[in-house]
């Protein structure tokens, strides 16, 4: 269920609670007649509903956090003009293709390829975050 839906339900319940409160204030018999029990039951149900919606929301947030950490196990190698490689990794930051690459400037772990253009071509040599086309 999309989180938006839960937020909408939460807001709707909040409005209903406010409406019931107004109703109870305007309609005095609701407070001390045979209606009172019904009114209280509705209030109790609402509180339970609000609690459940909030619990569901926090569970959903937790789920999304787990989901995002799975996404972050994708290869972070930045391919010039394309973006992140995003291939699955074995709990590494880089995929099989990109993890052995060393910066052609300083020999450190490469995180991207050089996006400098050489005529119609891109340079494409592996680079770390500190090096650029000028020093490799
Ligand atoms: Zn990769
Ligand atoms: Zn380097
Ligand atoms: Zn280059």
For residues 64 and 80, state if they share a domain.
Answer: no
Q: Which ligand is nearest to the CA of 106?
A: 2
Domain that holds residue 64: 3-71
Residue 110 Cα, ligand 2 centroid: separation in angstroms?
7
What token pair was written down for 37?
A: 């029990």
The span from the CA of 98 to the CA of 77, in Å, is: 7
For residues 56 and 105, state if they share a domain.
Answer: no
Residue 117 Cα, ligand 3 centroid: separation in angstroms?
8
Q: Which of 29, 55, 71 is the last residue of a domain?
A: 71
Residue 61 Cα, ligand 2 centroid: separation in angstroms?
38
For residues 51 and 39, state if they share a domain.
Answer: yes
Q: Which of 42, 71, 100 is the last residue of a domain?
A: 71
Residue 109 Cα, ligand 2 centroid: separation in angstroms?
8
Q: Which of 24, 46, 71 is the last residue of a domain?
A: 71
- Residue 9, H or E segment: helix 3-26
pLDDT along the chain (136 residues), means of 10: 74 77 69 72 80 81 67 84 88 91 96 90 93 94
Q: What is the pTM of this model?
A: 0.48
The span from the CA of 88 to the CA of 40, in Å, is: 54
- Count the domains in the chain: 2
For residues 57 and 107, state if they share a domain.
Answer: no
pLDDT digit string (tens) for 8-33?
877 887 787 777 777 767 766 666 66
pLDDT of residue 27: 67
For residues 63 and 98, state if they share a domain.
Answer: no
For residues 40 and 94, state if they share a domain.
Answer: no
Neighbours of ion ligand 3 (CB under 5 A): 114, 116, 123, 125, 133
């Amino acid at each position: 269920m999309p989180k938006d839906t839960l937020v909408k339900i939460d807001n709707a319940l909040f409005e209903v609670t406010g409406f019931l409160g107004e109703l109870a204030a305007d309609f005095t018999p609701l407070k001390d007649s045979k209606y009172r029990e019904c009114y209280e039951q509705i209030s109790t149900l609402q509180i339970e509903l609000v609690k459940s919606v909030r619990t569901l929301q926090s569970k959903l947030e937790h789920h999304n956090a787990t989901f995002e950490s799975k996404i972050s196990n994708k290869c972070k190698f930045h391919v010039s003009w394309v973006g992140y490689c995003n291939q699955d990794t074995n709990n590494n930051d880089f995929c099989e293709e990109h993890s052995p690459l060393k910066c052609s400037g300083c020999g450190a772990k490469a995180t991207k390829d050089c996006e400098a253009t050489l005529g119609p071509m891109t340079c494409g040599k592996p680079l770390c975050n500190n090096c650029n086309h000028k020093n490799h």
